[in-house]
Structure 1
Amino acid sequence: MNPLTEVVLDRFSETPLRIGTRTSTMAKIQSSHVAELITRLVPGIAIEIVPTQVSADLWPGDLAEIGGKGAFSKEIDRALTGARIDIAVHCMKDVPGDVPLAEGTAFGAYLPRDDVHDVVVTRGDVPFADLPPGSLIGTSSVRRHAQLSIHRPDLRTERIRGNVDTRLNHLDEKDSKYAALVLARTSLIRLGLLDRHHEVLPLEFHSAEEGIVSMVPPVGAGVIGLQARNSDTPVMRLLDELNHPLTASHILAERTMLHLLSGHCNSPIAGHASTTPDGQMGLFGMVFNPDGSAFVRSQAWGDHSDPAALGARVAADLLHQGARNLIAATRK
């Protein structure tokens, strides 16, 4: 028995390791994946998945009215700080950049990043380019709304809330008002729905004049983060074994940028870090106004040894170009 296995099994000799998650189908799939990874590292450990209903999954309106993206995690945070769970599973795109983590907790692991592309799913598999002017597109994301407005200003968008499977059911209803949805491709992957017709949107930003509909992803896209109490040394050691260092570096660059921009849940901010063929880390960031008619963008490259510096550099450039005014406009 290796030292880590011995320490963790001793820690959970009388109680199971409890993994906290939201109640959605997607969240349960992600948590089951985490449980499988832990079982491979620590064979024989007892694991319990603890679903928690969160405010954001029940709220039909603007997230800003219930505390922004923090509403996705506050109940799970309470369970973690109250020692009712041992690990919290989060989609990093839903972790706000302007709200501190629950006191005494930290992210101990980031799993390898999944696909970060957005996709368009249409009614009747109609090509996105053939959707007639005035067609209604369902999306709850201000980032997607702003970018769609750049490329297809002839389309309308409307907030559609709920889990991905719920949104797809709304699209498929006989009298649905929606012509299409914009979703994360990783959602289709995790739900086993890749066989459903969809069009993948490129990540690289294109201007309206280029005629290519693109969708720069949100900060944290495709990454699952695992949060635990700092004082729980055995669990933190376990998470360190699960951590993917390259993804962790990319996330640090992206979230440093997000934090310094002081964006909130209604701020159309996009950002994506990646590793270039020559081994450098690149970070691309954008800030839009609500309808995409004004935006700023910045890209920089740096060494993997200091991702925070790269995030700070891109944020400083965006702020120099006027990002603060664009973000302020979304608070009105």
Structure 2
Amino acid sequence: MQTVLKIGTRASQLAMAQAHEARARLMKAHDLPESALEIVPITTTGDRIQNRPLSEAGGKGLFTKELEEALYDQRIDIAVHSSKDMPTVLPKGLELSTFLPREDARDAFIGKTAKSIVDLPKGAKLGSSSLRRQALIRRIRPDLDVVLFRGNVQTRLRKLDEGVAEGTILALAGLRRLGMEHIASDVMGLDVFPPAPGQGAISIENRIGDDVVAQMLRPIHHVETGQALACERAFLASLDGSCRTPIAGYATVADGRLNFKGLIITPDGTLWHEIAAEGEAGNAAVIGRQAGADIRAMAGPQFFEGWF
């Protein structure tokens, strides 16, 4: 059968698994064979940079630039992303129209010598590239040596085997999508280790005004996940959130009501502020923006000095 839709994705195993999930949902929604939906793997700048933090290399856009160029050039029709990798401002003419049902948003600890962060010996090396995770680790265990850990899931696990660190933190959702949940030594609670905005949710980016694509995507959009992400992304945007800022945020939607909790924390993990908000799910973005404004006022301008 002729290709109906070209699905762009990063080339990592996890990204490919997410693209396959999107394809499976589209196949079911439209009764299409696998051959009608072509998956197009694209290596991004963020995948190639392994030796320094994203905050120093250019931020979240490094994982999306090449995919968005392919959308502009019509080499692909949609791009499948990890929502937490998406900048809050998208290029002109593109939109995040579709969110798949969210997986578990919690983080998981993978240890070689200990079952949890608490059990690690004093001074142990714990690998992470996320400023949020680094700050939360330091809040829990300021005595640990937090080292840079870039790369996909398989790369990070190889670094553990090579003894670069005694443990690392990965998203539980990613492990589940790879069928690797069993390697998690511990799953951190949301209150102790709140997730990044968008964590666990797959999003789909497409060209605004492409009605054929929009019609294909509509049946697979999960409304509640979309509402939760609208709140979290608005919270992030109101704080100028990027890879330079340790920010956590998580919203849930049930029976038309949205509940949100957000956190900002200094990179050294010594000072933080938390906020909770709730309201009608239809007002998700408004709730997120207001929570961001409120926590910014709560923290005061001195909290953010040197961040932006």
TM over 0.5: yes
What is the CA distance between 1:263 and its match in structure 2?
A: 1.9
Displacement of 1:137 in angstroms is 0.3
State the shift of 1:323 in Å: 5.9
**Map of 1:106-117 to 2, 5 A cutoff?**
106-117=95-106
Select 1:300's aligned residue among 260, 277, 294.
277
SS in 1 for 2:296: helix
Shift in CA distance, 94/326, structure 1 to aligned 2, threshold 3 Å: farther
1:194 maps to amino acid: E
- Secondary structure, in 3 states, of the residue corresponding to 2:17? helix
Amino acid at match of 2:6: R
Cα distance per residue 1:50-101 (max 9 Å; x no partner): 000000111121213332011000000000011000010011100122xx21
Aligned counterpart in structure 2 of residue 273 of structure 1, from 231, 251, 257: 251
**Which amino acid in 1 is paired with 2:269?**
G
Q: 1:30 maps to what in 2?
A: 18
**Structure 1 pair 327/195, CA: closer, same or farther in 2 (3 Å)?**
same
1:73 alignment partner, one of 44, 64, 77 = 64
- Answering whether residue 33 of structure 2 is matched by residue 56 of structure 1, we say no
Q: Distance in 1 between matches of 2:304 and 2:9?
A: 31
Change (3 A) 1:19 1:327: farther
Divergent runs of 4+, >2 A: 13-16, 124-130, 322-331
Specify the SS of the correspondent of 1:28: helix
Q: Structure 1 unaligned segments of length 5 or more: list them.
A: 1-12, 205-213
Matched-pair contact (CA < 8 Å) for 1:138–1:181: yes
Residue equivalent to 1:262: 240
The Cα of 1:107 is off from its aligned counterpart by: 1.4
| Correspondence for 2:297 among 320, 328, 332 | 320
2:155 maps to 1:166: yes
Instruction: Quote the offset at 1:158 in angstroms.
Output: 1.0
The 8 Å contact of residues 123 and 171 in structure 1, kept in 2 or not, is answered as yes
After the TM superposition, which of the residue ranges 39-48 and 253-262 deviates more from structure 2?
39-48
Q: Which amino acid aligns with 1:266?
A: R
Q: Which has the larger radius of gyration?
A: 1
In the alignment, what sits opposite 1:203?
190
- Give, in whole Å, the separation in 1 of the partners of 2:3 and 2:257: 44
Structure 1, 248-257 or 195-204: larger mean CA deviation: 195-204
Quick one: which of 73, 80, 86 aligns to 1:82? 73
Rounded Cα–Cα distance in structure 1 between residues aligned with 2:86 and 2:251:
17
* Partner SS state of residue 79, structure 2: strand
CA distance in 1, matches of 2:115, 2:30: 48
CA distance in 1 between counterparts of 2:204 and 2:235 reads 21
Q: Report what 2:135 is aligned to.
A: 146
CA contact (8 A) 1:290 1:330 kept: no
SS of the residue corresponding to residue 182 of structure 2 reads coil
Cα RMSD (Å) = 1.7
What pairs up with 1:282-301 in 2 under 5 angstroms? 282-301=259-278
TM-score (norm 1): 0.88
For structure 2, the 5+ residue unaligned runs are none
Aligned pairs, number:
305
**Residue equivalent to 2:84:** 93
